[in-house]
Structure 1
Amino acid sequence: MPADVDLARVAGLLADQSRARMLLAMLDGRAWTAGELARAAQIAPSTASDHLGRLVKGGLTSVVPQGRHRYYRLAGPEVAEAIEPLLQLAPREPVRNLRDSSRARTLAAARLCYDHLAGRAGVELTDALRRRGVLAADGPALTAEGREELAAFGIDVATLSRRRRPLVRDCLDWTERRPHLAGAVGAALADRLFTLGWIVRVGTARAVRITAEGDDGLRTVFGCGPLREVA
C-alpha cells in the first residue's frame, strides 16, 4: 500500500454509528442542516456539530453556506460510490414493524445513490441501456449510437465529456448486488427523469418512485421492463 494513503483515517470516520447515519442520510444528494442530520442520527444537535466537523475535516462532507445558515452534503459523488458497495458488507438492521418493512421495500425498488438512480429501477435501466446498445456490452462505456440516443433524450453528452467526472461508471448496487449506472451520464439521466416527472421523491428519504408516465416512457424510450411499484 502506498505510504501516503491513510485508509485508517477514513475507516475511523465511518466507524461511528452517528456519523454513519448522517452519511447515509446524505446519500440522497441533498444538502442538510445540522439539526436535520441530528434528528436523522438520533443525537443532540451539539453532538451532531462535533461529528460534522470531523466529517468535513476528513473530506467526506462539505459545507454549503447560505446566508446565516450552513448546510452539509457529501463532498462529491465519489464518496457515495465508495459507501454504496460497503453496505453489502454491513449487517441488515432488523425489521421491527410494518413501517420498517415498507421503507426497506421502497428503498430496494428505487432510490438515489447521491445523484444517480439505484435499486431495482437503476439496475434495470442500466441493463436496458446495454441491451439497446447505449452502453457497451463489455464494460462501462458509451457507444457512438448511445451518444446520439442520449442527445435525442435531452442529455448533452458533449458538455459532460468536458468535465473532470467520468462519463459512465459502474456502481455496485447494495440491494441488487449488480451494477447500476453512475458517473456524469448517470447523474444527467436521473436529473432528466426528475425534470420529465418520470421519477419523484418519496418523503424526505432518498427513495424515489417511478410514476406511471415514467414507467411508460422508460419502456418506450429505452426498452425497460415494468418499473413502477404497485401498492
Structure 2
Amino acid sequence: MSSHGEADLSVIGRLLAEPARARVLMALTDGRWLPASMLALEAGVANSTISGHLTRLVDGGMLTVQRHGRYRYYRLAGPHIAELVEVMAKIAPTLTITSLRQGTRAHAIRRARRCYDHMGGRIAVTITGALIRDGHLAGHDGSIDPDRMPGPRPAGGVLDPIAYTLTDTGAAFITERLEVATPAHTAVRCCVDWTEHRHHAAGVLGRNLLTSFEEHGWIKPATQPRALTLTTNGRHQLEETFQVDLEDHPAA
C-alpha cells in the first residue's frame, strides 16, 4: 500500500530558485503561448540553455508545451500557476531598476497588465473597488490588512479562492453597461494584486470584464510584454461607466 504525506514544497522551491526559470514564469503570466527563443530573451539566457530550464518546468507541472512544425510553444499549465506566481510576487522583494527601459516596463505592468485570462494592475484594482463601492460585488472591502478583517484565517478569508458574490444589481450593471451576460450570485474569484496589495476581479467575472474592454476597444496590448494600455476612448468610457478617476493612467 502507498500513502501520501505532506506536500513537498521544496520541489517547487528548487524549480523557482533559478532566476531564469522564475523570469520564464513571469513572462507567461498573461496566458500567451511563447516559443523557446522568446522565452530565452525574457530569461536572459542563450537559446542553447533555455531548453533545459523549460524541460524542468514542464516536468514539474508548471508549463505545458505544444509542437507546431519545428517549433515548440510554451504556456503556463493553468490559472493555478498564474495565481501561484502572483502570490509569490506579492511577498518577493522587487528588482532594482537600473535603466529607463526597465523603469518604463515596470510602470506599464503596474498600471495594467494581462493576468492570465483577466486584467491586473491599478486600473483593474480601481474598477474592482468601484464594483464593491456600488454594491455590485458583495464581500469585504477589498483590503488585505489582517488587522481590519475579522475571522480566524489571515485577512478573514481574503485568501480564499472565492471572496465575492455578484449581486442582482451587479449582474444587471454588467449586462446592460458592458454587454456581457454574467448571472447574478456568480461566485467571483479574486486575486490579491501583487503591485497594489488589493483585489482585482478574476475568474468568470474578471475574464468577462477584460473581454468586454478589448471588444469595445477600451484596452489594447501595450508595447511592453504583458502590459495593457487604455485608449483615449477607453479612459473616457471607463471613467463614465464606473465613476472613477483614471487621470493617473495615461491613455494611448
Structure 1 length-normalised TM: 0.88
Distance 1:184 1:94, change over 3 A: same
Map residues 1-231 of structure 1 onto 2, 5 A cutoff.
Answer: 3-138=5-140, 139-152=163-176, 153-158=178-183, 167-226=187-246, 228-229=249-250
CA-atom RMSD, angstroms?
Answer: 2.0
**Partner in structure 1 of residue 160 of structure 2:** none
Give the unaligned 5+ runs of structure 1: 162-166
Aligned to 2:208, the other structure's residue is in SS state: helix
Matched residues in 2 for 1:15 and 1:65: separation? 27
Contact kept in structure 1, 2:230 and 2:251, CA below 8 Å: no
Aligned to 1:141, the other structure's residue is in SS state: strand
Contact kept in structure 1, 2:182 and 2:205, CA below 8 Å: yes
Larger radius of gyration: 2
Matched residues in 2 for 1:171 and 1:90: separation? 16
Distance 1:66 1:155, change over 3 A: farther
Contact kept in structure 1, 2:235 and 2:251, CA below 8 Å: no
Distance 1:184 1:230, change over 3 A: closer
Matched residues in 2 for 1:10 and 1:92: separation? 20
**Partner in structure 2 of residue 164 of structure 1:** none
Pairwise CA distance, 1:68: 4.2
Question: Percent identity between the aligned chains?
Answer: 40
Structure 2 length-normalised TM: 0.81
**Partner in structure 1 of residue 143 of structure 2:** none
Letter paired with 1:149 = F
Pairwise CA distance, 1:67: 4.3
Give the unaligned 5+ runs of structure 2: 141-162
**Runs in 1 of length 4+ with deviation above 6 angstroms?**
none
Pairwise CA distance, 1:201: 0.9
Matched residues in 2 for 1:224 and 1:70: separation? 43
